[in-house]
Amino acid sequence: MSLLSSIVPIFVVFSLFQHQFIPQIRAFDVSQQFLQIAKSDEVFEWMIGIRRRIHEHPELGYEEFETSRLIRDELDKLGIRYEFPVAVTGVVGFIGSGEPPFVAIRADMDALLMQEMVEWEHKSKVPGKMHACGHDAHVTMLLGAAKILKDHSHLLKGTVVLVFQPAEEGGGGAIQVVDSGVLENVKAIFGLHVSPALPLGQVSSRSGTLLAGSGFFEAVITGKGGHAAIPQHSIDPILAASNVVVSLQHLVSREADPLDSQVVTVAKFQGGGAFNVIPDSVTIGGTFRAFSKESFMQLKQRIEEVIIGQATVQRCNATVEFSSKDKPFFPATINDNKLHEFFQNVAGNILGPTNVKTMLPLMGSEDFSVYQEVIPGYFYFLGMKAESNKKPASVHSPFFEVNEDILPFGAAMHASLVVNYLTELQGSETRSEKHHDEL
């Protein structure tokens, strides 16, 4: 073998290596700067202002009209094209070439029906409504990512789709976004949720099943009302409903595999309004959750059987309703395996490998799972626990607080994931084409 013939293959391998990996390295290099950009006084203060405006004016699912207007105003200022309305109040923006491939990042917009108990300058100005789940921060971080991406649009080897989604808290907003067709050509979608339990700047997720599938049920148990002093003349629906509640707990403790986590919780019990009157009916309701479709459907079947059966034993009638337009079923949140490896690489590059954790599955649910049924998707938690806050309030608590130092981390993570995804996707397609040419 001549010296030239031995050098040529080495040169070809080096050229291929250079062609395949230099674009990705450049994207990673820039993504490391995204966090510094997001932390700059200009961007950080801008995000804080947006988050506080949203927090002061919380809106429930499909009522996010002012939140939507704020988002559109900011996108207009940034010169970002968008579609509106999507799913009633939702906004979907586009940054990049406007051509394939497409990758999406999503933020939910809606607040909760609860009174804020945190006393601070920017407390909710709407009685009985509060951003107690961090959706105000989610919207802000996605707008922060949009600002970064717009300034670095030359790096986008395709198009980023910004999904500002309404009605995550049980309203099925993700279902309407999918049904709108706006995500039809999207290759992957990423989403995050703030976590008061994780230290600031730390992320946690896992490959495969992350969150449970969830459903709601409501039952009306009807008997015969009467005077509490002469119960023999009545048919007591409160007694029947009490037996139902106890029996429903046996579905998990005695029918479910202990290694297959499931939950049945009765969180609503309404009946009667006087101490000396047996009511005609009682309404109960709650949620049930499981990690697999099989277990979920088995729970659904058994919940109905137990409610009707126990009511019958107590001489009552019962009707059971499950999914509704306002409270649809959500499947389990299942992260794509390939996206998990990609996420760990990108997050480790920005935050440091020690700040990228693998978590156990949680029984909470997210309608982000709806996207994952039609698009490869990845969902993760971003920590915001401050060192000074030893016992932060959990989400859905009236004392929940967002540590605003989280905003730059979320914006940088969003921007970095999509820039690197499009770069990697282009690299894989180029390699595939080159390999085809060589054949």
pLDDT at residue 27, rounded to an integer? 54
pLDDT at residue 427, rounded to an integer? 75
In this predicted model, what pLDDT tens digit does every residue of 28-79 receive, in sequence order? 568 789 999 999 999 999 999 999 999 999 999 999 999 999 999 999 999 9
Residue 152 assigned to a binding site:
no
φ, ψ at 157 (rounded to 5°): -90, 50
Residue 429 assigned to a binding site:
no
Token pair recorded at residue 345: 């690489």
Q: Tell me the Ramachandran region of residue 396: left when phi exceeds 0, alpha when psi lies from -120 to 50, beta otherwise.
A: left
| DSSP 8-state symbol, 379 | E
Domains and CATH numbers, the chain: 20-211+332-435 (3.40.630.10), 213-321 (3.30.70.360)
Residue 396 assigned to a binding site:
yes
Buried b / exposed e over 316-333, threshold 16 CB at 10 Å, is bebebebeeeebbbbbbb
From first to last of the 439 residues of the chain, give the pLDDT tens digit.
433 333 334 333 333 333 333 334 455 568 789 999 999 999 999 999 999 999 999 999 999 999 999 999 999 999 999 999 999 999 999 999 999 999 999 999 999 999 999 999 999 999 999 999 999 999 999 999 999 999 999 999 999 999 999 999 989 999 999 999 999 999 999 999 999 999 999 999 999 999 999 999 999 999 999 999 999 999 999 999 999 999 999 999 999 999 999 999 999 999 999 999 999 999 999 999 999 999 999 999 999 999 999 999 999 999 999 977 778 999 999 999 999 999 999 999 999 999 999 999 999 999 999 999 999 999 999 999 998 877 899 999 999 999 999 999 999 999 999 999 999 998 776 555 544 443 3
pLDDT at residue 399, rounded to an integer? 97
Provide Rg for the chain, Cα atoms. 26
pLDDT at residue 31, rounded to an integer? 74
pLDDT at residue 406, rounded to an integer? 98
**At how many degrees (to 10) do helices 293-313 and 237-250 cross?**
150
pLDDT at residue 322, rounded to an integer? 95
In this predicted model, what pLDDT tens digit does every residue of 97-132 receive, in sequence order? 999 999 999 999 999 999 999 999 999 999 999 999
- The answer to whether 345 and 242 are in contact (CB under 8 A) is no
**Predicted TM-score (pTM) of this structure:** 0.88
Measured CA to CA, the distance from residue 357 to residue 219 in angstroms comes to 41
